[in-house]
Structure 1
Amino acid sequence: MKRYWRGLIGPGALALAFSAGLAQAAVDNVAQRVEQLLAQMTLEEKVGQLNQLSGKEFTGPATDKVRSMEAEIRSGHVGSMLNIKGVADTRRLQALALQSRLRIPLLFGLDVIHGYQTVFPVPLGESASWDLEAIEESARIAAREAAASGIHWTFAPMVDVGRDPRWGRVMEGAGEDSYLGARIAEARVRGFQGARLGGVESVMATAKHFAGYGASVAGRDYNAVDMSDQQLHETYLPPFKAALDAGAATFMNAFNTLNGIPATGHAGLQRDILKGAWGFKGFVVSDWGSVREMVVHGYADDLADAAAKALNAGSDMDMESNAFSSSLVAQVRAGKVALAQVDDAVRRVLTKKFELGLFDDPYRFSSAAREQAALSDPRHAQAARRVAAKSIVLLKNEGGALPLRRGLRSIAVVGPLADARRDLEGGWIVKSNADKMASLVDAVREAAGPGTRVSYAPGCDVACRGANGFEAALRAARDADTVVLAVGESWDMSGEAKSRADIKLPGRQDELFAALRAIGKTPVVVVMAGRPLIFERLAEEAPAILYAWFPGSEGGRAVADVLFGDVTPSAKLPMTFPRNMGQVPISYQQYETGRPVRDVNNIVYKSAYIDSPNTPRYAFGHGLSYTSFGYRDLRLSSNSMRADGKITLSFTLANTGKRAGAEVAQLYLRDPVASVVRPVKELKGFQRIALQPGEQRQVSFTIDRETLSFFDRKLAWTAEPGKFELMVGSASDDIRLRQTIELAP
C-alpha cells in the first residue's frame, strides 16, 4: 500500500521511513505511531497542529492573504482548515500540506448542521419527531455526502439545552430537556461517525458548546451564563456526557463565560470534568475566535496571555484566533505553558488523524466518484421528506379541520411563506438547492391533483410591515373552499446571532389572519420557524395549526403530506411554547415553590402572574394526531425496590381511532421529598409506537436506581430512599396513568 507520510532520518532522530517495504507490524498501534511522530516534531510544528484556519478566501482570487496561508500550510504550521469543501479544493490544499517537512495531513472541518446537500429539518424540528432512528439516519446521510466531498469533521451536534426561545440557537439543538437531548445527542453522534472513525462515509462529530451556552442571560447570543453547579450538572451537562459515551471524537467549547470564567479558558470544565472525571480522549476545539475573545471578556491581558490560558485550561485547537500560532511557542519558552501540555494537545489531534486513516491516504475522503454518487442518490431526498413529515407537530385540530379532503373545488394557499423555498431550509446551509425545491403551494398543487384549482397570494413578505398585499390574498381566499395560511419566520430570523427580544409572529402577520377571518374564511395555519413563537390570536381562533419548523429541502411536500393525511402527524414538542413574553424562559421541568398555584381562582400571595396564567400555550411533549390513543391497565412488577433492584412498569397502549398512527408514550418521574428539591416532573423515558386502527400493544419501561438518581448538594450521583411518583402520558401536561413506588433504605 502506498504511504503518504514519511518521517525524517537524521542524527538523533527516530527512523520512520514509511514505504511499501516497511513492515506494517511496526506501526499498527496508533498510540505508538503518534509517539514516533511526536518525537520528530519541532515546537513550531507541534503548535502548527493546534492551529485551525478558515479557507473561505481560497474560493476567491489569489490574494496576499491566500498566498500567506498557503505558505503556512506548506511549512506545517496549520493542522486543520474549515470552510473548505468539495473534492477539488480539499485535494489541492491537502497537496500543500504534504509538501511540509513531516507531511502531516490536514483535517477539513465544516458546519454540517442538518444536511450537506440534502437539507433535513433544522435540529430542533428533527427533535420534535422523537424518532431516534430517523435522527440517526439524517446524520448518516449528511455524513455520507460530506465525507465524499472531502470533509473529515462536522461541528455538530449542538447539544446545548435551551429553555429561552429568544435565543436564536435553540434552532440548532434538541430543546429544553436534558434526557431527550441526551438520547438525541447519542443518535446524532452515531449517525455522523458510524461504527468507527475512519469509514469513508463517516465524519468526526463535535459535541458543542461546552458548556452552559444555552442559558445565556436574557436569551442573548454570546451573553454571560451564571448558574449553580447543581443546575450545571443536573440540566446542562448530561447531553454532553451522553455524546462522549456515544464516542464523540471532539468537543467544542463555548463563547460564553460560566460564572465569570470564559468557557475557552475554563479548566474546571475542560480539564477537571471533561478530560479528568469523564476521561475524554479526543480533542477540544475552540469556537470561532473564542480564544481571542477572552481579551475582550477582560479575562486575558492580550492575545499571548489568552493563548496560554486557553491551552492550560484544556483547549487543544484554536479556531481562527491566530492566538496559538502567533504566541504559543514564546509562551512555552517563557515557561508560561508546559511543553507537556502542548504535547498532550498535539497527541490528541494526531490520534484522530491516524484513526481517520489520513496518514495512509490523505485523499481517501476526496473521491469524485463517491461525491457524485452521494450527491445524486434519490434515497436521500426520500429520507428528507420522511423525516420532515415526522417532525411536523399538529398543535390544534378542532372539528376535524385536518386532514384536507381531496376533490375540493379550490384551495387558496396564502401568506408570506406560502411560496417560500429558501426559507424552508433554515440556517446553516452548505449547498442550497432552493431553485429546485417545491414550495408549499407547489406541493399542495401536486397533492390536490388536477381537479382542484389552487390559487396563491402572499399577502405580505415575512417582515409584513404593511397591508398593501392583503386584498389580493383576500380575493384568492373568497373563492376557495379551503384556505391554508403559511406564516412564521424567514430563514435568517433564527440561528446564531439571531436572538429576538420579541418572538411573536413578525410584523402584521396575525392581522392577515384576522382579515381572512373577517371575510368568513378561517384558515388552517402552517407555521414555519426555527424556534417556538408566540401567536395567541391564531392559537385561540384557528381551527387547526401545523408547526412545521424549517422543514428542509423536501419540507414543502412533507407539509402537504400531513395536510392531506398521507402522513398522520406524530411529532411532539421538544420545547415549551409560551403564551407571552413575560413567561420566558419557561420549561415544564420547573421546581416547586413554597407558594404554588393549586387553584387558578386563588392566586393571591401565590407564585403567579396577575395578568397571565402560569401554564404555557403548548406544553413540552404536546402533539396531536389524526387518530386517538388510549392508555390503560398500568401494572408494576413490584411497588418497591432495593438499590440494586429493578421494577418493570407496563401498560396497554391502543389505537382507538380510525387511522394508522404513531404515539410517543412518555414516562415522567417526581421525587416529592429529597435532600435537594427536585423538579415537579422529569422525563425519564419515551417510546415511539406505530399502531394500526384497533391495534393495541403492551408497553414497558424499566425503573432502576439510575432512573431515580440525581446530583445531591455535594454533586454526588445518588438515589435516596423514599417514595417516587411515576407518570405515563401523551405530553407533560397530559398524564394518563400514575403510580407510586418506593426505594427501600
Structure 2
Amino acid sequence: MNNIRKWAMASIMCAGGLTGMAQIAPAIPADPVIEAHIQEWLKKMTLEEKIGQMCEITVDVVTDFPGSKDGFKLSEAMLDTVIGKYKVGSILNVPLSVAQKKEVWAAAIKQIQDKSMKEIGIPCIYGVDQIHGTTYTLDGTLFPQGVNMGASFNRELVRRGAEISAYETKAGCIPWTYAPVVDLGRDPRWPRMWENYGEDCYVNAQMGVEAVKGFQGSDPNHIGEYNVAACMKHYMGYGVPVSGKDRTPSSISRSDLREKHFAPFLAAVRAGALSVMVNSGVDNGMPFHANRELLTEWLKEDLNWDGLIVTDWADINNLCTRDHIVATKKEAIKIAINAGIDMSMVPYEVS
C-alpha cells in the first residue's frame, strides 16, 4: 500500500509540474558531425526526393503474393516503383499480419536497403509494431500487454522487456518499433485499453521512459547494435474517445490535455525518444494531424526536440475524406506538413 501511495503522490506532483515550462536543453543532443552530414545530403536532394523520403508505404504494396514457402517475397517491379521512381523513405508492417522468421526479415530488409542505397544513397527506415514483445518475429519473446506491465509498478521489468524486444527485432535487421504506447486508458469501452500502461499519467510516464531506454539504449544519436529507435504513441488523448470507439473524436479539457495526457510524452522526449506517432482522432473539433500548436509548438519548440513525427494509418488523407476540413488530399498534405508532420504513413498509394 505504501508503494501505491508513493506512486499516487508522484502522479499529483507530475500533473502540477508541467505548466509554465521554460525552454530546456535538447533531449537529443546536437551532434555536429551528424548535423553536417544531414545538411550535405539535403543540398544534394531534389524536391521530389525529399517528398519521397517523407512517405511511408506498407510492405503489402511491394510484396508478391502468395510468396514462397519460407516466407514472403518482395516484388522487384514494385520496389522499382516505390523506391526507384518515388524514392519512398520508409516501409512498415508485415505481410498479411503473419509473423516471419528473423532470417526472412533480414533477407527482405537487405533487399530493400540495397535498392534504397543504389537509388538514393539513403537507407529506407523499416518499422513494425513490437508493442509487447517481438510479436512480428517467429519464435520471438512475448511479454504481457502494457496494462499488465503497468500494473506491476516495476520499472526494471519494463526496461528489460524493451531491451529483449529490441535485441530480437534487430536480429531481423528491423531498426524501428512503434512503441511504447503511453496513451492514458481512461474509458473501459475503448477497445485498445490493453496496449497502454493504464489510466495514470505518472505510471505511463515512468514506464514509457524505461521502455524508451530499453529500446534505444543510452545515446539517441548512436543507436547500438542491439537497439532500435522507439516511437511513442499515440500523441495524444487517444484513449478517451467520447463514443468509446477507436479513432473517434475526444473532448479533453485544456488542463487535462496539458497536465495529464501530455505528461508521458514529455517524459519520454526528455529521455531521448526519437519519434512520435500522432493520435488518429479529433479533439474538440481539431484533428491532431492538423494541430500546429500541439505538434510544432508543444513538441518541437517548447521541448527543443528535433525527433520525427509520423502519422498513423492514412491519417493525412483522413483530413479530407473523413474530417472534411479541406476539399482535396493536396490541401490535407499542406495542412499536415505545416502543422509539423515529418512522415506520412500513406500507406497504400504510390502514385
Say which SS state the counterpart of residue 187 (structure 2) adopts.
Answer: coil
- Listed one character per residue, the Cα deviations across residues 181-234 of structure 1 (whole Å, up to 9, x for unaligned) are 110110111111112242111111011111111111132111101121111112
Correspondence for 1:98:
117
Which of these residues, 186, 196, 219, is aligned with residue 163 of structure 1? 186
Correspondence for 2:106:
87
Correspondence for 2:125:
107
Alignment of 1:683-698 (within 5 A): none
Alignment of 1:308-707 (within 5 A): 308-321=334-347
- Distance in 2 (alpha carbons) for counterparts of 1:291 and 1:258: 16
- Listed one character per residue, the Cα deviations across residues 2-36 of structure 1 (whole Å, up to 9, x for unaligned) are xxxxxxxxxxxxxxxxxxxxxxxxx9701001101
- Listed one character per residue, the Cα deviations across residues 288-325 of structure 1 (whole Å, up to 9, x for unaligned) are 111111111111211111111110100110002568x7
- Distance in 1 (alpha carbons) for counterparts of 2:148 and 2:197: 8
Change (3 A) 1:74 1:124: same
Correspondence for 2:40:
36
Which of these residues, 101, 118, 122, is aligned with residue 145 of structure 2? 122
- Distance in 2 (alpha carbons) for counterparts of 1:38 and 1:198: 22
Correspondence for 2:324:
298
Correspondence for 2:244:
219
The answer to whether the 8 Å contact 1:74/1:98 transfers is: no
**CA apart distance, 1:261:** 1.1
The answer to whether the 8 Å contact 1:76/1:97 transfers is: no
1:47 equivalenced with 2:51 (yes/no): yes
Q: Residue type of the partner of 1:78?
A: V
Change (3 A) 1:39 1:181: same
Say which SS state the counterpart of residue 119 (structure 1) adopts.
Answer: coil
Change (3 A) 1:145 1:59: farther
- Distance in 2 (alpha carbons) for counterparts of 1:228 and 1:49: 36
Change (3 A) 1:322 1:262: farther
Say which SS state the counterpart of residue 264 (structure 2) adopts.
Answer: helix
Which of these residues, 171, 179, 197, is aligned with residue 174 of structure 1? 197
More strand by percentage? 1
- Listed one character per residue, the Cα deviations across residues 529-572 of structure 1 (whole Å, up to 9, x for unaligned) are xxxxxxxxxxxxxxxxxxxxxxxxxxxxxxxxxxxxxxxxxxxx
- Listed one character per residue, the Cα deviations across residues 233-289 of structure 1 (whole Å, up to 9, x for unaligned) are 121110110110111100011110012111111111101111111222101000011
The answer to whether the 8 Å contact 2:146/2:197 transfers is: yes
Larger relative contact order (C-alpha < 8 A, sep ≥ 6)? 2
Correspondence for 2:268:
243
Q: Residue type of the partner of 1:128?
A: A
The answer to whether the 8 Å contact 1:212/1:236 transfers is: yes
Which of these residues, 206, 228, 233, is aligned with residue 208 of structure 1? 233
Quote the RMSD (CA, aligned, Å).
2.1
1:67 equivalenced with 2:93 (yes/no): no
- Distance in 1 (alpha carbons) for counterparts of 2:336 and 2:244: 26
1:287 equivalenced with 2:297 (yes/no): no
Correspondence for 1:190:
213
- Distance in 2 (alpha carbons) for counterparts of 1:60 and 1:243: 39
1:154 equivalenced with 2:177 (yes/no): yes
Change (3 A) 1:39 1:59: same
Say which SS state the counterpart of residue 284 (structure 1) adopts.
Answer: strand
1:307 equivalenced with 2:333 (yes/no): yes
The answer to whether the 8 Å contact 1:192/1:205 transfers is: yes
Q: Residue type of the partner of 1:96?
A: K
TM-score for the superposition, normalised by structure 2: 0.81
The answer to whether the 8 Å contact 2:180/2:212 transfers is: yes
- Listed one character per residue, the Cα deviations across residues 616-665 of structure 1 (whole Å, up to 9, x for unaligned) are xxxxxxxxxxxxxxxxxxxxxxxxxxxxxxxxxxxxxxxxxxxxxxxxxx
Change (3 A) 1:292 1:69: farther
**CA apart distance, 1:66:** 6.9
Change (3 A) 1:307 1:74: same
- Listed one character per residue, the Cα deviations across residues 585-625 of structure 1 (whole Å, up to 9, x for unaligned) are xxxxxxxxxxxxxxxxxxxxxxxxxxxxxxxxxxxxxxxxx
- Listed one character per residue, the Cα deviations across residues 156-190 of structure 1 (whole Å, up to 9, x for unaligned) are 11111111111121111010100111101101111
Unaligned runs of 5+ in 2: 1-30, 68-72, 95-99, 135-139
**CA apart distance, 1:76:** 5.6
Change (3 A) 1:64 1:121: closer
- Distance in 2 (alpha carbons) for counterparts of 1:246 and 1:300: 36
- Distance in 2 (alpha carbons) for counterparts of 1:200 and 1:39: 29
Larger Rg belongs to = 1
Correspondence for 1:232:
257
The answer to whether the 8 Å contact 1:290/1:321 transfers is: no
- Distance in 2 (alpha carbons) for counterparts of 1:297 and 1:65: 34
**CA apart distance, 1:114:** 0.7
- Distance in 2 (alpha carbons) for counterparts of 1:66 and 1:220: 39
TM-score for the superposition, normalised by structure 1: 0.39
The answer to whether the 8 Å contact 1:213/1:255 transfers is: yes
- Distance in 2 (alpha carbons) for counterparts of 1:103 and 1:47: 15
- Distance in 2 (alpha carbons) for counterparts of 1:158 and 1:238: 13
**CA apart distance, 1:155:** 0.4
The answer to whether the 8 Å contact 2:64/2:74 transfers is: no
- Distance in 1 (alpha carbons) for counterparts of 2:43 and 2:80: 25
